[in-house]
Amino acid sequence: MGRRAIYYEIPNAMVEEDRMFSKFGKNVLFYSIGTVGLRVASFVLIPIYTYSLEMGEYGRLALLLQTAQILMIVINLGSRTALVRFAKEYEDKNQIGLLYGTSIFINLTAAVVVTIVTTVFLSPLFRSVLHTDSAQSYMFLTCTAAAFNCLSIHLVTYYRAGEQGLKVTLANLSSAIFLILLTMVFLRTLHLGVMGALLAQTIIYGLLTGFLFFRLAARITMGVSLALTWEVIRFGWPLVLVSTGWLVVQGAGLYCVSLFHGLQEVGVYSLGTKMAQIAEMVLILPVIMAYEPFVYSRIGDSQLSTAISRLLTYLMIAFAFVACGIVFVARDLLRLIAPPAYAPAYFVTFVLLPALAFRGVYYVGESLLFIEKKTRLAGAVVTGFAMFGVALSYALAWRWGMYGAVVAYALTTVGTGVTVLKLGLGMSLVRIEKERLCVAGVLLFGFLAAVYALHGASNYVYYIAVPVSVCLGTVCLCASSFLKEDERRAILAFFARARAIRSVFNA
């Protein structure tokens, strides 16, 4: 009996683990499709912006969009993460409507306060940064767009907390398509300039917010609790420091470049960072969107520490390939989406990409702290590095312009990611796979070096040599002892299923 019990217990555990990763992988796929759609939309918008606006005007729009990202974090007050963290707990108590209603109330109240403070008290600052006397009008529209965007993302979180990746993807894709169309009308047909770009975002995100709110209200009965309001804010306000810390460093670079070198250089710097951030949008964010509910809904599971360790390794390996793909395509893509004056953005992309890998490192460390409810510690670390980053951006951008801002952002990103991961590991049973992570790092820098060395070659050499280099790296990776035995079995099983599916369609 004892032997039989053991015999059946092990396969059941393996089946359950396989189911967990299968659901996780499916949601990553859906989130990847949605975020790829958003990224594609943002790149469709780039040529619309760069060819419809003067270079300085594009720099002004880049500053406003970056500011909107910061305002969204402040408006949300961390309630989105609190929603994901406590959704299952309140659903078990049949109080999910109270949680959602309270979190929406927090967003609406914060939006009003942020709009008043920004348009009334911060106008002198933005007049200097934006180089215009119409800063108040620009900022009011920026605040409105940020508020609606924040609310729409928050409402989509209802489906994300329930691990319903397909519905999140559909919401993202539909809003992206309509945003492109309306922006084209406002900029190419009506020639409304920067105000038209902001107005398009305000209208699309406003309509999406209304649609999602009425859909959610039809499904659950929402309410507001002042006691719960305080609880959500207490959990979430350190996350404002966490989230704005990253954006403040990047925004400080844009602001300092604008102050010392003008809006035209801001446009180049912004385009380079957008290219680099493709890696974050198409890989890191989709993985994290699936990772957070995956981890928080399995707290206490004996297999969780192993899963977290392996997911970090897989993320870094995938990042090496995605980063290589970005710089490989960027050489000629930049020539299509922007005029020749934006060419220096290519080098900005190269410098930023290795640093952005540590965004993934940070999110894993952050989850380990959040499991222990150490949001304040994460907030303190990010705030400290953000202050360091702002000071460094000021000093380096004053001397070296956008290249100084890039260095400041890269150093801050790496330092924050490493520090938070180290603190998280100190509070958990997770043990990272150091050797395999080092292999991922070598792979990343090897791929980037190969592309940069060949970027000046002819198209014939470039489009043959770089893919061959990547294939050789992949073969060496698979032929080495990097892959563990269970991972090899999983890969072989995946290809076996793919062949079976193909044979069915062929038949």
Q: Would you list the domain boundaries of the chain?
A: 2-455, 456-491
Q: Which of 53-57, 453-457, 472-476 has the lowest mean pLDDT?
A: 472-476
* Burial grade of 60 (CB within 10 A; 0-12, 13-18, 19 or more): buried
Please, which residues have CB within 8 angstroms of residue 451's CB and are 6 or more apart in sequence?
324, 327, 328, 331, 466
Least confident of 241-245, 281-285, 435-439: 241-245
Sign of CA dihedral 109, 115, 121, 125: positive
Burial 381-391 (b: 16+ CB within 10 A, else e): bbbebbebbbe
CA distance 156 to 212: 7
Total H helices, total E strands in the chain: 19, 0
- pLDDT of 374 reads 85
Lowest pLDDT segment from 36-40, 308-312, 334-338? 36-40
- The pLDDT value given to residue 156: 77
Distance between CA atoms of 366 and 360, rounded to whole angstroms? 10
Instruction: Report whether pLDDT(161) > 60.
Output: no
- SS3 call for 450: helix
pLDDT more than 90, % of the chain: 50
pTM of the predicted protein model: 0.78
Q: Which two tokens stand for residue 376?
A: 């304040």
- Say if residue 77's pLDDT is above 60: yes
**Distance (Å, rounded) from C-alpha 118 to C-alpha 140?**
8
Q: How confident is the model at residue 1 (pLDDT cuts 50, 70, 90)?
A: very low
Q: How far is CA 283 from CA 27, 73, 276, in A?
A: 12, 21, 12
